[in-house]
């Protein structure tokens, strides 16, 4: 596949997602305007009947001023359509009343529109300072060099100490200008505005997991233990390997730290008391100061979804009776599953003809073997044999059991032939330390000689065709081997040196 074809496939995949499908539709401005007029940071959910009425009122108002609106549909039909397009989510609230809330896809689309409609500098001192500070902090964390970390910390301490001493000595306080504060405020608003969609994605991930586990329980195709293991593994993955999960964990850690939360609230108040905030509207100031409430609300919604999932698991495990009739249980589960699939497409007034009681079962053979608790006892615990474990091998001991030490052999051969102390490989080998005279080192010598094409192996049968190699095994025993006699010339030793230190080594 060519590069342009691959990029086209990725772009098409992105446009198939609900976020871009919302922005790509003809009625996208109308849909987003309804969402922005109906929902807000303080109003995350709306009763279903109330939203239907509001959409009807919006349609009537726009028709009055001559604005084109989606034809032939009322508020209820549009809300159902938006729910099917995964822009609205309908659930039952605490008072058993159905209510709508925006999905993460709708929140992302609104965030994109807000970003494009808001005047802001794309590059500013505040934004670049934020990037530089973040890069410096992550670089300090990523560096494994102890001295480098100490140097960075000393530099930071010196800078802060110098500034503190200057202020303590009566130095002038340089107040930030209105323009600088406004730039920093815009950056903060950009970051804060991303939190609702992050929290909503976590909610949707937990809700999707909830639906999958309920379907697994209904189908009874897998053991309960397997379903529970999958739930626990998905929960761990949700909170550690996904971007929305990491955002949730960070906010949750912030919420647990009362001192940090109080400092955050105090810092927000300090920022909003700066003279630049006089240019902000009351809504903008109120929204900025509600950041802590936004974090609390997002965490509460995620925990509510997760508690609902945990409650479903607990009720199923407690109410699951393994003794009752399996045939009747399977039949009821199948009916419940079919009803669940039917409700995905059925309307509110759809009528289905069904028998009051299922027909009799034609059972040829009844169960004869009943549940025996003895068959479900766990195996006996394993014996602790850690005291009988042998001592672990050291690194040197493990290396002595490995293959030839080629680099050390090359250095030793270059030294021996360069000093004129060896006439052949056998002479050089027999003068080496015991650690380099293992039997396996002979194979390393022959490999190097073959690579270099060094010397000529004398025809077998002549007296000078072979020479004696006295080896020492790692256990201290010795053994001699007859190996073809090989000599090295100056070019061969130079090639060995180049293999270890490069061709430029003198």
What fold characterizes domain 177-319? Answer: Methane Monooxygenase Hydroxylase; Chain G, domain 1 (1.20.58)
pLDDT tens digits along 260-296:
777 778 888 887 888 888 888 887 788 778 777 777 7
Query: Does the pLDDT value for residue 38 go beyond 80?
Result: yes
Q: Which of 176, 172, 178, 187 is nearest to 129 (CA)?
A: 187
Query: What pLDDT is attached to residue 246?
Result: 62
pLDDT tens-digit profile of 112-151?
777 666 655 455 555 666 666 767 776 776 777 788 888 8
Task: Give tens-digit pLDDT for 384-396.
Answer: 888 888 888 888 7
How do residues 366-409 score in pLDDT, each as one tens digit?
777 777 777 778 888 888 888 888 888 888 778 778 888 888 88
Q: Residue 105's pLDDT band (boundaries 50, 70, 90)?
A: confident
Q: How far is Cα 353 from Cα 351, in angstroms, rounded to an integer?
A: 7
| Interval 344-365: pLDDT, tens | 787 777 777 777 766 777 777 7
Per-residue pLDDT reduced to its tens digit, 73-100: 888 888 888 888 888 888 776 667 888 8
- pLDDT recorded at residue 260: 75
Confidence at residue 456, expressed as pLDDT on a 0 to 100 scale? 45
Q: Could you write out the three-class secondary structure of 465-480?
A: CEEEEEEECCCCCEEE
Cα–Cα distance, 191 to 264 (Å, whole number): 15
The candidate with the shortest Cα–Cα distance to 60, out of 89, 34, 26, 90, is 34
Q: What is the pLDDT of residues 49-66, one digit of tens each?
A: 888 998 888 888 888 888
pLDDT at residue number 464:
59
CA atoms lying within 13 Å on the CB side of residue 448: 28
Residue 469 binned pLDDT confidence (cut-offs 50, 70, 90): very high
CATH code for the structural domain at 3-117? 1.10.10.10
Instruction: Please state the domain extents for the chain.
Output: 3-117, 177-319, 404-501
Q: Say what the pLDDT of residue 110 is.
A: 78
pLDDT for 481: 92
**3-state class (DSSP) for residue 221:** coil
């Amino acid at each position: 596949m060519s590069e342009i074809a691959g990029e086209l496939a990725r772009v098409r995949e992105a446009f198939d997602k609900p976020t871009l499908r919302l922005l790509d539709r003809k009625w996208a401005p109308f849909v987003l305007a309804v969402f922005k007029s109906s929902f807000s940071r303080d109003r995350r959910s709306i009763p279903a009947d109330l939203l239907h009425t509001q959409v009807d009122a919006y349609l009537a108002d726009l028709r009055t001023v001559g604005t084109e609106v989606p034809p032939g549909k009322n508020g209820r039909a549009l809300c159902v359509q938006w729910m099917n397009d995964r822009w609205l989510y309908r659930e039952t609230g605490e008072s058993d009343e159905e209510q709508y809330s925006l999905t993460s896809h709708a929140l992302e689309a609104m965030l994109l529109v807000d970003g494009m409609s808001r005047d802001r500098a794309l590059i500013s001192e505040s934004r670049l300072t934020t990037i530089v500070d973040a890069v410096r902090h992550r670089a300090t964390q990523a560096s494994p060099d102890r001295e480098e970390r100490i140097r960075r910390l000393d530099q930071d301490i010196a800078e802060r100490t110098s500034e503190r001493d200057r202020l303590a000595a009566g130095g002038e306080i340089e107040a930030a200008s209105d323009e600088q504060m406004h730039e920093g405020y815009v950056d903060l608003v950009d970051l804060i505005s991303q939190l609702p969609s992050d929290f909503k994605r976590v909610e949707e991930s937990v809700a999707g997991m909830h639906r999958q586990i309920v379907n697994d329980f209904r189908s009874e195709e897998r053991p309960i233990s397997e379903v529970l293991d999958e739930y626990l593994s998905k929960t761990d993955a949700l909170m550690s390997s996904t971007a929305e999960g990491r955002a949730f964990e960070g906010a949750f850690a912030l919420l647990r730290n009362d001192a940090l939360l109080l400092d955050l609230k105090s810092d927000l108040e300090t920022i909003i008391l700066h003279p630049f905030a006089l240019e902000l509207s009351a809504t903008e100031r109120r929204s900025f100061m509600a950041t802590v409430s936004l974090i609390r609300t997002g965490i509460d919604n995620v925990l509510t979804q997760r508690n609902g999932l945990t409650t479903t698991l607990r009720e199923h495990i407690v109410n699951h009776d393994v003794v009752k009739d399996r045939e009747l249980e399977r039949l009821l589960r199948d009916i419940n599953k079919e009803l669940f699939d039917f409700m995905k497409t059925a309307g509110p007034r759809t009528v289905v003809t069904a028998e009051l009681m299922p027909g009799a079962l034609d059972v040829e053979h009844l169960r004869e073997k009943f549940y025996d608790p003895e068959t479900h006892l766990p195996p006996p615990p394993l014996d602790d044999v850690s005291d009988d474990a042998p001592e672990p091998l050291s690194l040197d001991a493990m290396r002595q059991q490995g293959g030839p030490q080629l680099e050390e052999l090359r250095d030793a051969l270059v030294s021996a032939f360069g000093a004129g102390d060896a006439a052949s490989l056998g002479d050089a080998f027999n003068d080496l330390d015991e650690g380099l005279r293992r039997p396996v080192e002979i194979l390393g010598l022959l490999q190097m000689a073959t690579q270099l094409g060094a010397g000529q192996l004398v025809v077998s049968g002549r007296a000078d065709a072979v020479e004696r190699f006295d080896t020492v095994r790692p256990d201290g025993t010795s053994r001699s081997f007859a190996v073809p006699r090989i000599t090295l010339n100056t070019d061969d030793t130079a090639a060995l040196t180049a293999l270890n230190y490069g061709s430029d080594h003198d």
